[in-house]
Amino acid sequence: MTDRTVLIVDDEKPIREMVEFSLERSGFRVVEAGDAAEARVAITDHQPDLILLDWMLPDTSGLDLARALRRENMLGDVPIIMLTARTEEEDKVRGLEAGADDYVTKPFGPRELIARIQAVLRRSGGDEAEENLEIGPLRIEIAAHRVMVNDNPIHLGATEFRLLKFFAGHPDRVYTREQLLDRVWGPNVYVEERTVDVHIRRLRKALDGTGAERFVQTVRGAGYRFSTRE
């Protein structure tokens, strides 16, 4: 439900924009690709939670791309929804064999699309978010949008909250400033990389004296990491 990234692969920009508009209104992050090559880059860069894949692409068919991605194991269990103008049963079968999880037939409306996406995500993924995260003295209450340290609330700006939430959900792993901007600020936001430093600083300051400030770690030359160890 919350904060999932959807990759839309379609060569027609108007369709991509319609999809982006609808999905962002529903709280998804949206990444676009116009062809198979762009799609591969986007998958690597943004690690989407779901892929909307047009049947026809300029450089290859969506079917082939889906099959290739599954074969190359680039996706794990990320679901694929095919977008197609065709309605033949035969195509559906072939698409499902290629690794698609569902179909949407053009033309489609935003409600239908969102219903399908949520149905597929509900099936394939545990909704990971939503429950509270507890790390040492920290408790991140997602629903309440609140962070407690030893049962005392601490105040964070919206950006610091998202940053901490992301970190807490992905511990023991270094993220570059670029990756953090992508995952915390969003894929279509362009700010200076050094901005990350400033928010790291603000997060540390907010956690100062709680015993949790040591979890936010700098990895020189690489980025930042959230970890209880070290």
Query: Which residues form the interface with a second copy (CB under 8 A)?
Result: 87, 102-103, 105, 109, 111-112, 114-116, 118-119, 122, 141, 143-146, 153, 157-158, 172-174, 219-222, 225, 227, 229-230
CB–CB of 98/63 below 8 Å? yes
Distance CA 227, CA 65 (A): 37
C-alpha gyration radius of the chain: 20
219 binds DNA (CB under 7 A): yes
Q: How far lies 116's CA from each of 19, 121, 159, 167, in Å?
A: 13, 8, 30, 29
222 binds DNA (CB under 7 A): yes
26, 60, 159, 227: which one binds DNA (CB under 7 A): 159
Distance CA 122, CA 193 (A): 34
111 binds DNA (CB under 7 A): no
Question: With respect to a second copy, which residue has the nearer C-beta, 63 or 147?
Answer: 147
**Min. distance of Cβ 95 from a second copy in angstroms?**
13
CB–CB of 211/227 below 8 Å? no
Residues at the contact surface with DNA, assessed by CB under 7 A: 155, 157-160, 185, 189, 191-192, 194-195, 197-202, 204-205, 218-223
